[in-house]
Structure 1
């Protein structure tokens, strides 16, 4: 009788209703739930397969998996490799409207930043490049590290996006990066065996007409993915800055230049600054980059935070690979 529970009429029916809302799981059911969870999460079996084994409907298997999570039998942790910061990646992506942002924890030794970013960028290319892509590669120390870290690449066409800085011996690595990528992918390569910055517009026009260089330039409008570096407007952040005379550096600074990418100059608002340098370089243009479906910038180091912010404001970038110190600066 109902009075046998606590002397109140109807108390038993109340208790029964509560039990239906939150039934206490007995040991047999908990063991069953655990077995179902093990097959689903560890063995990778489908709900249909599990249902057939235990004589349950797909709905009941789904309910058992839900129970496993509710009771703590299954606990789901989302973990990335320690060098990747998922939270900052997500916030950066949302704040700047990027398709993808990958933030790497800033290493204790700042000198390791380029190597670490390059390694992650190499893995990213191995992941996102698909057969038939036309992949453009610019030059930069971080991109050189990326090239060295490449281990796999779908068959694609690889194109060098700018000439080399003849004043820097290590800048020939841009040619080597293109050739290494092509070797891995098994696709054709279009390197540029010429300087990035020429003394005058006439020399630049002559070299652009060279058959080998013209062939590389002809692929700029066919690019499906491009990987670029970012520089600020100072001797530490920009190899282009270092290659110019002091007078030219000051002239461009007076025009508001705060950052550069592939020898294209930009002011603090992300607007392109037109100068005579545009006619003296062998490089993809900002207008051509804007037509590339995916532009991936790989750049880090706190000293580049402002420059990276400038390029994010241009709307040219769809993906950014950077370090956590830069990400915090951009979000701060």
Structure 2
């Protein structure tokens, strides 16, 4: 039941105020009071000297003209018909699958939204949460609203095309506003040598100590190929060739994986600023967020490594993974 946020009845001053407003201003004022401040139509009628039926017509007019807009953010739906068999196939405790609707950007946003929903459902104040980088992590970070007071930490150095702390820049005001903290660093992903990598890591010991106490890591997965991987821009061509020679199909946090889940190109990883494999293995929850049928082999490879405990993806990627896994049996 709607109740007015003020006491008593409106007098002549309120009616005069209504007369002083232009038509559009009055529609906006009525919309604000009704939808945001829960003032009833009856009380609005008294306040502005109008009948409640007139108020109802004016509220409808405000919506028709776009002066008053109502947005309902419907939760992204999981698809158990695909998620459940994929969960069994991959042997993961958690799998969520969203529809593959729209452009690749729209699909990535939908997967990011599902990731944000999962975090809202599962995070508690005091949790230590690590986040990777990349476009999917950007999409996820933009969707997280009203987080609890968590400790958020950057897991991997930056690519040349991204800002050093993205996507954590987007989350910082919300996390710190809730009483949490955000820990970032400006190191690049590829340091160029083991010595330079060690120099960077020695400067970020406080951040790296948090890796040993992760409650959750949220990571993206990249397909490693001749042209598909944005990650290739972080490494010189000669280094990319060294990686290619070991036949990986996937990359996650600067680690490379073959189709059967083996970790390869570790000499390159030793020159990269990232989380160690043993730290990821010790985390109770590592959730990968990745979309697109072209990433199906990459996601399968990472899942077979045993490093992730959960996956959020889209229908096309999930169906392709099921096809590949079925063909391999």
TM over 0.5: yes
Per-residue CA deviations over 1:235-288 (Å, capped at 9, x if unaligned) read 554332232222222221111222110001111210111432122111102221
The CA deviation at 1:297 is 0.3
Per-residue CA deviations over 1:282-321 (Å, capped at 9, x if unaligned) read 1102221011000010001111111001011011111100
Aligned-pair RMSD on alpha carbons?
1.9
The CA deviation at 1:230 is 0.4
Q: Which moved more, 1:107-116 or 1:293-302?
A: 107-116
Equivalences for residues 279-294 of structure 1 within 5 A: 279-294=270-285
| 2:114 maps to 1:120 | yes
> CA 1:232/1:162 → structure 2, altered by over 3 Å: closer, same or farther?
same
Larger radius of gyration: 1
SS, match of residue 281 in structure 1: coil
Given candidates 142, 148, 171, the residue that maps to 2:142 is 148
> CA 1:83/1:289 → structure 2, altered by over 3 Å: closer, same or farther?
same
Q: List 4+ stretches of structure 1 deviating above 6 A.
A: none
Q: Distance in 2 between matches of 1:181 and 1:330?
A: 36
The CA deviation at 1:177 is 4.3
Matched with 2:201 is 208
Per-residue CA deviations over 1:182-240 (Å, capped at 9, x if unaligned) read 23542122112221111211111111111xx2111111000010000001112554332
Per-residue CA deviations over 1:37-73 (Å, capped at 9, x if unaligned) read xxxxxxxxxxxxxxxxxxxxxxxxxxxxxxxxxxxxx
Matched with 1:302 is 293
Contact 1:158 1:181 in 2 (8 A): no
| 2:212 maps to 1:192 | no
Contact 2:131 2:219 in 1 (8 A): yes
Q: Distance in 2 between matches of 1:195 and 1:82?
A: 34
Structure 1 segments unaligned to the other structure (5+ residues):
1-79
Q: Distance in 2 between matches of 1:128 and 1:138?
A: 18
> CA 1:274/1:287 → structure 2, altered by over 3 Å: closer, same or farther?
farther
Contact 2:149 2:176 in 1 (8 A): no
Structure 2 segments unaligned to the other structure (5+ residues):
1-73, 324-329
Matched with 1:63 is none
Query: Scaled by the length of structure 2, what TM-score is found?
Result: 0.71
SS, match of residue 305 in structure 1: helix
Matched with 1:20 is none
Equivalences for residues 33-72 of structure 1 within 5 A: none
> CA 1:85/1:153 → structure 2, altered by over 3 Å: closer, same or farther?
same
Q: Distance in 2 between matches of 1:236 and 1:83?
A: 32
Query: Scaled by the length of structure 1, what TM-score is found?
Result: 0.71
Q: Distance in 1 between matches of 2:231 and 2:104?
A: 22
| 2:81 maps to 1:90 | no
